[in-house]
Amino acid sequence: MMLNMVQALNQAMHQEMEKDPRVLALGEDIAVDGGVFRLTEGLLEKFGPERVIDTPLAESTIVGASIGMAVAGLRPIAEIQFMGFIYLAMNQIIAHAARLRNRSRGRFTVPIVIRTPYGAGVKALEHHSESTEALFCQIPGLKVVVPSTPYDAKGLLIASIRDNDPIIFLEPTRLYRAGRQEVPEELYEVPLGKAKIVREGERVTIVAWGAMIPVAQQAAEIVGKDGIFPEVIDLRTLSPLDRETVLESVRRNGRLLIVQEAPKTCGLGAEIAAFVAERAMFNLEAPVLRITGPDITVPLAKGEDYYYPSPERVALGLKKIVES
Amino acid sequence: MIEDMFQILAENGRARPEREPSLPASDLQKLYSLMATTRAADLKALKLQRQGRMGTFAPSLGHEACQVGSAFALQRKDWVFPYFRDLGTYITLGLPLKNYYLYWMGNEEGMRIPADLNIFTISVPVGSQLPHSVGCALAMKYRKEQAAVVAYFGDGATSEGDFGEALNFAGVFRTPNVFICFNNQYAISTPVRQQTAAKSIAEKATAFGFNGIRADGNDVLAMYSLTREALEKARTGGGPTLIEAFTYRMGNHTTSDDASRYRMEAEVNEWSRRDPIERFRLYLKDKGLWDETFESRVQREAEDLINKAVEEAESTPPPRPEDLFIHTYEEMTPELNNQLAELRDFLKGEPK
């Protein structure tokens, strides 16, 4: 069936909840309203208010209660309405969800999925355009997952629900309804921790994730006219990182360009550049280049285009790195 | 006399007969023995810490009645979410004392709670275990298990956002929670009057739509009776309860603290007259359930238990490098394997 990302995620939740009675969903406005993006539509009608829970406005307890449910054997999917509000739950995520397996020497595990829409590019209000994924990538014990297509969204969400570790599942708002794709009706998993080469190419490797994948693809189209054919890697899981796929590609192509929507300093791109420097330095024919958001607060609608990496900016970077 | 405080035993050990729980003599003696063991184990920990054999920990001195009395009311199917001053709770519920010592000696292995005990791990960030207890209670409700969930915390925790959020959730969903606050008058140095302008902690429950009650936290029978009642109510769909155990932290906040910097000796002396163990001893003696022989048997048994636990904890080997890595995720990631290998290589080459 041709589905957009919202529909694919909705189908994944429906099907996985049908299959596994331990799976339930909680969050603000997810039940009666079906979610502010209608992503959880139909779940309440099908599974009832004990399994699809409209919660009070309390991010810390949405996550904290999910931890308690997980300890008691359930597998909750918690929704944080926008990534800009996840900071209220940071203590629960960092101090407990991520560490409980270690603190209890494996007795208690936290198989929860924290879903949240993230990223700019939709001209939203303040706090509705955040992409602070790197904050979570630094925390041992968390896994961070970002789909960029409807197919991957369904398969990654199913794999995340079935995974026995806590997962931050970031959904690029800009891609929610950006396009449809053939999505199989049946349940399937896209494995966590595995990047994917989404465009084969040579002489330069682009590493990106989430909403930067279509930007990288468009940039590749632009420079294709000049005879440059970049390879594009979609990380899909940001933590744990699939370093091997990146290293293999960089060793083959000799150049690395990272496209990151988040501010530049200490972003995930910095870690990628660092491990490539550690392990593939002598395969590089040019310095690593990062095209990122600047180190500023994400602007409101009128200024957003200055912030957001565009295909043209990436294309310029590609030309620069290939010519150097 | 504190306003509106539920009490069964007066400070002189006299009981209000209409409130006395119908516990057999053996249970009453058991309560005494658990409190005495808690105190002895706590004092032993202090000694170990002063001798450099244990790290910083939070002493339980003065909390024996509220810890033991409330925990004694629990059934095995119930869940407990402790904070970090819960020695008597652990002893009552049967967590091996070795685990307690081991954890505070700095070995995570101590927090590997045996699989047959529904006790959650310690939560050091104040109040952050309250949301967990609500989630666990929601799970009990979802699975239609007739089990209740107890969360312990101090007066300082009631100022945290998680307290308000969690109790609000509990009220909205009528979860089978029992929230037990040990109001010991201080959060490190901050007195309770600087923590809240409310007349009591208990009255805060009203705002969340359920009952709160203040108990004499140094009265083991009051704590037992109120907790038992609240647990029964929770298990049978009656919703949550907040119990404020009005007590006093007789020791320092932790072994790194010096309470004389912020509280008067006279106040401490005043509270030592209300000692929870002494009060219960007078009660038992009056009932003919306590004499010197009983006392020395209790002390001897406690000492044996404690010595064995200390020996076991001290003879537990320190963690191996891999022990620190393997519980990060269900499976080791390639990067973690690399980092562990690096650490091992370094240790191999390190001069002995």
8 Å CB contact of B330 and A60: no
Same fold for the pair A2-182 and A196-323: yes
8 Å CB contact of B134 and A103: no
**Beta strand pairing status for A196-199 and A143-145?**
unpaired
User: Do B137 and B280 share a domain, yes or no?
Assistant: yes
8 Å CB contact of B108 and A105: yes
pLDDT tens for B72-89 read: 999 999 999 999 999 999
User: Do B243 and B332 share a domain, yes or no?
Assistant: no
d(CA A232, CA A236): 12
User: Do B225 and B331 share a domain, yes or no?
Assistant: no
Write down the pLDDT at residue B2: 64
pLDDT tens for B294-347 read: 999 999 999 999 999 999 999 999 999 999 999 999 999 999 999 999 999 999
Write down the pLDDT at residue B351: 63
Q: CB-based contacts of A132: which residues, under 8 Å, 6+ apart? A: A83, A118, A262
Q: Does A302 touch chain B (CB under 8 A)?
A: no
User: Do B117 and B40 share a domain, yes or no?
Assistant: yes
Write down the pLDDT at residue B4: 85
User: Do B290 and B344 share a domain, yes or no?
Assistant: no
- Domain extent, residue B327, equals 320-352
Q: CB-based contacts of B327: which residues, under 8 Å, 6+ apart? A: A101, A102, A105, A106
Nearest-CA residue of chain A relative to B324?
A: A102
User: Do B228 and B331 share a domain, yes or no?
Assistant: no
Structural domain total, chain B: 2
pTM of the entire structure?
0.96
Tokens standing for residue A320: 């620069």
Chain A residue numbers touching B134 (CB-CB < 8 A): 61, 64-65, 68
pLDDT tens for A162-173 read: 999 999 999 999
**Beta strand pairing status for A196-199 and A231-234?**
antiparallel
Coil/strand/helix, residue B151: strand
CATH value of A2-182 in 3.40.50.720, 3.40.30.10, 3.40.50.970, 3.40.50.300: 3.40.50.970
Q: Does A303 touch chain B (CB under 8 A)?
A: no
> Which of B138, B168, B316, B326 to mutate to test binding with chain A, by most A CBs within 10 Å of its CB?
B138
User: Do B18 and B154 share a domain, yes or no?
Assistant: yes
Q: Do you find a cis peptide bond into A240, omega within 30 degrees of 0?
A: yes
User: Do B241 and B344 share a domain, yes or no?
Assistant: no
pLDDT tens for A300-322 read: 999 999 999 999 999 999 999 99
Q: Does A28 touch chain B (CB under 8 A)?
A: no
The residues that bridge with A262 in the sheet, in sequence order, are none
User: Do B71 and B54 share a domain, yes or no?
Assistant: yes
Chain B residue numbers touching A55 (CB-CB < 8 A): 169
Instruction: Check which CATH number belongs to the domain holding B162 and give it.
Output: 3.40.50.970
Chain A residue numbers touching B163 (CB-CB < 8 A): none
Q: Which CATH architecture has domain A196-323?
A: 3-Layer(aba) Sandwich (3.40)
User: Do B343 and B254 share a domain, yes or no?
Assistant: no
Domain chopping of chain A, boundaries:
2-182, 196-323
User: Do B264 and B332 share a domain, yes or no?
Assistant: no
CB atoms under 10 Å from CB of A201, counted, come to 19
d(CA B330, CA B310): 31
pLDDT at residue B352 greater than cutoff 60: no
User: Do B325 and B308 share a domain, yes or no?
Assistant: no
Chain A residue numbers touching B169 (CB-CB < 8 A): 55-56, 58, 61, 65
